[in-house]
Amino acid sequence: MEINWLGGIVGGVLIGISSVLLLLFNGRIAGISGIVGALVVNKPTKDNLWQMLFVIGLLIGAVIYALSQGGLQIQMQASRSMLIVAGLLVGVGTRLGSGCTSGHGVCGIARRSKRSIAATLVFIVIAMLTVYIKQALGL
């Protein structure tokens, strides 16, 4: 796949702007695993309305993109059974590790949090190793 220079940088800047808005106005971290977790782990209350609206916003953003670009392309990289295993691992791991790519990788590093810097390094290296081993095994 050709490198998406413009999309990568513009998309990244938008993610940064979104994180800044949420922190500046609401005092919240734009960590998606935490935002989604708050909606499913306990029965949501009216205090969770902002998380619900953020998730709805994600979907609206994707719909706007899909409408303006004539679709949204995704190419899955794993079988259904592997997707189930991967989904469970992502769910358990982000809960146990208190965050994912957005909360640790973008917001945590920007707060100069030692925990987030460590978590980000660990999950990127482990994910790279996982892809390497998966390919070596021909999965």
Partner 1 sequence: MKNNFIALIAGIIFGLGLTISEMVNPARVIGFLNVTGNWDPTLALVMGGALMITLPLFPFILKRSHPVFSDKFSLPEKKSLDKRLLIGAVLFGLGWGLAGFCPGPAITALVTLSPDVIIFVLAMLAGQCLQSYVERVVIKKSV
Residues contacting partner 1: total by CB under 8 A: 109
Indicate the residue among 45 and 75 with the shorter CB distance to partner 1. 75
Instruction: Give the contact letters, 13-32, x = binds to partner 1 (CB under 8 A), - = no.
Output: xxxxxxxxxxxxxxxxxx-x
Amino acid of residue 79: S
Of 138, 133, 105, give the one whose Cα is nearest residue 119.
Answer: 105
Q: For residues 73-92, which are near partner 1 according to CB under 8 A? A: 73-78, 80, 82-92
Q: What is the nearest approach in angstroms of partner 1 to the Cβ of residue 61?
A: 2
In the complex, least distance from residue 45 CB atom to partner 1, rounded to whole angstroms: 14
52 Cβ neighbours under 8 A, 6+ residues apart:
39, 44
Please state the closest distance from residue 35 (CB atom) to partner 1, in A: 9
- What residues have CB less than 8 Å from 19, skipping those under 6 apart? 29, 30, 102, 106, 107, 110
Q: Which of residues 37-76 bind partner 1 (CB under 8 A)?
A: 37, 40-42, 49-51, 53-66, 72-76
How many Cβ atoms from other residues are within 10 Å of residue 25's Cβ? 8
Distance in angstroms (rounded) separating the CA atoms of residues 75 and 70: 16
Residues 98-137 that bind partner 1 (CB under 8 A): 98-102, 104-115, 118-120, 122-132, 134-135
